[in-house]
């Protein structure tokens, strides 16, 4: 699957909107992710409003690109939609969904970057204030999205020294 090997974090976007059809493809891919107990605890906030994107860019560390991004998707997990509580499998579930979203973005020609939110309390509370989601819902991350201004070259990240057979 070439998208795995060609995907790069993209922070600069062309002045071109992401279509509703493209957004649906992204979210369909995200929701195909595996989840513990098939609970699918994810929720998604699609953000296109320029004022909101600017506010996020100013309240979230390393999110400056959102000030000029056409859109973003906030990926959230519902702690109550977990079969195996008190374990936080929602983090793994939503990470898989977010990765699927990133791969679909690459597949359809969009650029994207994953902005981590969870578990930094200040980042979580800023997003809760902006979007008003319940206390039982936690934001895992934000995906900044758009048509890439340029296409960074792929990077080979294979590291054989990180592979252990049978034991450490």
Ranges of each domain in the chain: 6-150
Rounded distance between C-alpha atoms, residue 158 and residue 143, angstroms: 24
The predicted pLDDT at position 35 comes to 97
pTM of the predicted model, to two decimals? Answer: 0.96
Given a cut of 90, whether residue 81 has pLDDT beyond it is no
pLDDT bracket for residue 14 (50, 70, 90): very high
Q: Give the mean model confidence (pLDDT) for residues 78-91.
A: 88
At residue 150, what are phi and psi to the nearest 5 degrees?
-150, 165
Given a cut of 90, whether residue 82 has pLDDT beyond it is no
Cα–Cα distance list, 20 to 13, 59, 62, 117, 166 (Å): 17, 27, 27, 25, 47
Given a cut of 80, whether residue 53 has pLDDT beyond it is yes
The predicted pLDDT at position 32 comes to 99
Q: What is the CATH number of domain 6-150?
A: 3.40.109.10
At residue 37, what are phi and psi to the nearest 5 degrees?
65, 15
- Among 12-21, 59-68, 80-89, the minimum mean pLDDT is found in 80-89
> Can you name the residues that pair with 73 across neighbouring β-strands?
46, 143
Q: Give the mean model confidence (pLDDT) for residues 103-122.
A: 98
């Amino acid at each position: 699957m070439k998208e795995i090997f060609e995907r790069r974090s993209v922070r600069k976007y062309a002045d071109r909107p992401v279509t509703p059809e493209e957004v649906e493809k992204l979210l369909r891919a995200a929701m195909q992710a595996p989840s513990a107990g098939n609970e699918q605890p994810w929720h998604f906030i699609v953000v296109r409003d320029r004022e909101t994107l600017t506010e996020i860019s100013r309240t979230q560390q390393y999110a400056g690109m959102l000030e000029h991004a056409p859109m973003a998707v906030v990926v959230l997990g519902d702690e109550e939609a977990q079969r195996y509580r008190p374990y936080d499998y929602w983090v793994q579930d939503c990470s898989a969904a977010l990765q699927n979203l990133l791969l679909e973005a690459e597949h359809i020609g969009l650029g994207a970057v994953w902005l981590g939110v969870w578990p930094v309390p200040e980042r979580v509370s800023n997003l809760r204030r902006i979007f008003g989601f319940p206390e039982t819902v936690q934001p895992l991350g934000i995906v900044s999205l758009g048509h890439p201004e340029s296409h960074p070259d792929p990077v080979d990240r294979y590291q054989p020294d990180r592979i252990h057979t049978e034991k450490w």
